[in-house]
């Protein structure tokens, strides 16, 4: 028993053999690291379980066919799936794209993730993990290409390839989580191994019983043929372990939310309703129906569902401006004229008759008119004729 265990190759040896066999069969693809981080996330959503060239064309068609990323966010999953029709599972990729864009928009009200590059790799990974719709494959792919970390992104095809080669156990295959596989690959060889493993995983899902898959698995671990399905049978689907009792209700709620989100209409109604801000439809909304979904005749309908109406403002009525006429200035009131009382006449002192008396020219005795006085200063003449006192 102990000798058989010692002769059985360990995980590190199997990974080294698989790397050698895949490198001889596939040509590694160098990822494009010049994209913005958000576009890298969208590319990873298209690349999951899909070939590299198909994912490139799907992303280019998505970015060219829509005005901006906000239009992609409010588009229905069915319309996005028609745009991504050449992917192996266009509905899954479309739902993941819209979930990621909605999470980014709700967190920052902008379509960018460049802020995640300013901190450590661990901070960037936490930012990616908090995005609704970002699978572990998307997180590890973006962390290895945009953040410069050392990770091996594993989608369903890659995990199935590792399971058939005997590298991954049944429990890890069912849970979809393989921890610590990047420790057996050098950081320098990480991008190359991830690329050839991804291509092999796509081949396993597309052509399981092909010669390429059998050739690679035979070179890696001939003893793992018991895991390989028989001719004509498909790969055994993973059976995830049941969640704890407390998480069953949460899982059912998430499944119902995903089903509702897949058929959510486009436009303003496509945005998620934050809890506590927008009231949800009351329970039992609409007419009562049977189990088949047909309305029951004669039954009273429940309360009307809440509909988010657009914020339409009331029309503004602008009144014409009328030039204001300045008011007339009131005339100043005239104060009544008050007659002043007449002053009492002061007695005038009579002057001396002699002082007031003026010399009068003597009349001639004869009837001849008197001769006119000579021209000269009259005042001095009068003073000269005045008699001394």
Q: What are phi and psi of 289, to 5 degrees?
A: -130, 165
Confidence band (pLDDT; 50, 70, 90) for 85? very high
Q: What is the Cα–Cα distance from 225 to 331, expressed in whole angstroms? A: 118
The answer to which of 36-50, 218-232, 282-296 has the lowest mean pLDDT is 282-296
* C-alpha distances in Å from residue 37, one per residue of 72, 128, 217: 17, 10, 35
Domain boundaries, the chain: 8-226
- What is the predicted pLDDT for the residue at 279? 47
Compute the distance between CA of residue 367 and CA of residue 360 in angstroms, rounded to an integer: 17
Position 385 scores a pLDDT of 66
Q: Over 60: is that where the pLDDT of 173 sits?
A: yes
Run of H or E residues at 384: helix 378-385
Poorest-pLDDT segment among 16-20, 139-143, 215-219, 351-355? 351-355
Residues 300-326 pLDDT 10s: 665 554 444 444 555 556 666 666 666
- At 196 the pLDDT is 95
**Residue 117 burial (C-beta neighbours within 10 Å; 0-12, 13-18, 19+):** middle
Q: How confident is the model at residue 3, as a pLDDT? A: 41
Indicate the pLDDT class of residue 2, thresholds 50, 70 and 90.
very low
Per-residue confidence (pLDDT) for residue 5, from 0 to 100: 44
The C-alpha atoms of residue 199 and residue 202 are separated, in whole angstroms, by 5
pLDDT band at 32 (very low <50, low <70, confident <90, very high): confident
Per-residue pLDDT band for 115 (boundaries 50, 70, 90) equals confident
Q: What pLDDT is attached to residue 233?
A: 85
* Tokens coding 156: 């369903």
Q: At what angle do helices 121-129 and 136-145 cross, to 10 degrees?
A: 150
pLDDT, one tens digit per residue, over 221-257 is 888 888 888 888 888 888 887 777 666 666 666 766 6
The mean predicted confidence, pLDDT, of the chain is: 77
Q: What is the CATH number that goes with domain 8-226? A: 1.10.340.30
Looking up tokens 């992609």, which residue turns up? 72
Q: What is the mean pLDDT of residues 336-355?
A: 56
Q: What is the pTM of this model?
A: 0.64
Q: What is the pLDDT of residue 31?
A: 85
pLDDT greater than 60 at residue 81: yes
- Residue 285: predicted pLDDT: 53
157 pLDDT more than 70:
yes
């Amino acid at each position: 028993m102990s000798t058989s265990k010692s002769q059985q190759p360990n995980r590190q040896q199997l990974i080294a053999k698989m790397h050698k066999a895949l490198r001889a069969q596939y040509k590694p693809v160098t990822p494009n690291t010049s994209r913005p981080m958000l576009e890298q996330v969208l590319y990873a959503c298209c690349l999951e379980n899909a070939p590299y060239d198909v994912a490139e064309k799907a992303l280019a068609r998505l970015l060219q066919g829509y005005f901006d990323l906000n239009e992609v966010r409010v588009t229905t999953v069915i319309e996005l799936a028609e745009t991504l029709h050449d992917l192996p599972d266009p509905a899954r990729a479309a739902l993941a794209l819209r979930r990621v864009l909605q999470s980014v928009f709700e967190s920052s009200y902008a379509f960018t993730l460049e802020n995640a590059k300013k901190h450590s790799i661990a901070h960037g990974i936490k930012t990616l993990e908090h995005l609704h719709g970002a699978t572990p494959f998307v997180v590890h792919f973006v962390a290895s290409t945009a953040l410069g970390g050392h990770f091996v992104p594993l989608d369903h095809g890659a995990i199935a390839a590792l399971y058939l080669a005997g590298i991954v156990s049944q429990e890890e295959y069912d849970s979809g989580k393989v921890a610590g596989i990047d420790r057996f690959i050098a950081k320098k060889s990480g991008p190359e191994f991830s690329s050839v493993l991804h291509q092999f995983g796509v081949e396993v899902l597309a052509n399981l019983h092909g010669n390429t898959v059998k050739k690679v698995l035979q070179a890696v671990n001939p003893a793992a043929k018991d895991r390989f399905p028989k001719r004509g049978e498909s790969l055994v689907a993973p059976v995830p372990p049941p969640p704890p009792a407390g998480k069953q209700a949460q899982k059912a709620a998430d499944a119902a939310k995903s089903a509702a989100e897949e058929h959510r209409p486009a436009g303003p109604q496509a945005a998620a309703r934050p809890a506590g801000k927008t009231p949800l439809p009351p329970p039992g909304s609409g007419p009562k129906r049977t189990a088949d979904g047909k309305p029951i005749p004669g039954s009273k309908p429940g309360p009307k569902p809440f509909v988010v109406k657009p914020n339409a403002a009331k029309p503004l009525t602008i009144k014409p401006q009328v030039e204001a006429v300045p008011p007339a200035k009131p005339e100043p009131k005239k104060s009544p004229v008050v007659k002043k009382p007449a002053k009492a006449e002061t007695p005038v002192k009579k002057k001396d008759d002699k002082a007031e008396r003026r010399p009068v020219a003597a009349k001639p005795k004869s009837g001849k008119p008197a001769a006119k006085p000579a021209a000269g200063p009259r005042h001095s003449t009068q003073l000269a004729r005045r008699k001394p006192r």
